[in-house]
Structure 1
């Protein structure tokens, strides 16, 4: 069982530094569930990660497309936003197998609770809770 870690982050600069350090510890094929309210910073985390992996151009939330894939030096970067799913089975219309079960690339999933049992057992859960101003509590399990 993975150890649970909680940390307090004071501002956006600390959040970016933490995000980039977190990225360095991810193994190929990692799936990260990003949980948190609207505006908590889930999409921003993926933007920082994409830039760190060399993605150029516009990086947007896949709210309406549900999944975006970017080519990087570390393999594909999948960014999923499952907010619009009404039933977990709808994930079958996406390329979720490649994102969740490959041994290369990285997958980040916003609104992961909508995926139900489709998330793999090796999923890393990152929960972000908004505090005052730019403060965040980040819980990793």
Structure 2
């Protein structure tokens, strides 16, 4: 699935979150499902992740992991990890947070904002979501799904 959509409202973002959650739930294996989120500050990465996490069945309040780096959310059969690598300064920080263990956790769903700050550590993804400002209230969202 390669898709581009324009998001003009929170309702658009919620609907896309539901659609993407359905795609994530259709995964065929039990390996971690890795979602990269790419875009400038304020493009709505965390807002979209929040909508996907709620569509996956979590009732938790989803918050930005900018300062905590990782926020976990427990579901009945899997764990969701929402990561933000914006403040990562070198690869040793990735080791200290145990990134490798998260990536190898069966049944995990891992959302990673700012994957470009992984110092080449992150190379593969199952889904990549790119967001960019079109105007004050519009964002272009490009979705790439790897089989």
Q: Classify the secondary structure of the residue corresponding to 1:25.
A: helix
Deviation of 1:103 (Å): 3.1
**C-alpha contact 1:4 1:140 (8 A) present in aligned 2:** yes
From 81, 94, 99, the counterpart of 1:91? 94
Q: Classify the secondary structure of the residue corresponding to 1:117.
A: coil
From 5, 8, 13, the counterpart of 2:6? 8
* In structure 1, distance between residues paired with 2:105 and 2:60: 25
Superposition pairs of residues 125-140 of structure 1, within 5 angstroms: 125-140=128-143
Deviation of 1:112 (Å): 0.9
1:36 aligns with 2:34: no
Question: Structure 1 runs of 4+ off > 4 angstroms?
Answer: none
Q: Classify the secondary structure of the residue corresponding to 2:120.
A: helix
Superposition pairs of residues 1-141 of structure 1, within 5 angstroms: 4-26=2-24, 27=27, 29-141=32-144
TM-score (norm 2): 0.83
Q: Per-residue CA shift, 1:74-100, capped at 9, x if unaligned?
A: 400000011111113321111322332
Deviation of 1:120 (Å): 4.5
Distance 1:51 1:85, change over 3 A: same
* In structure 1, distance between residues paired with 2:72 and 2:106: 16
Q: Per-residue CA shift, 1:4-57, capped at 9, x if unaligned?
A: 432223322112101210111012521001111111111111212222233334
Gaps of 5+ in 2: none
CA RMSD of aligned residues (A): 1.9
Gaps of 5+ in 1: none
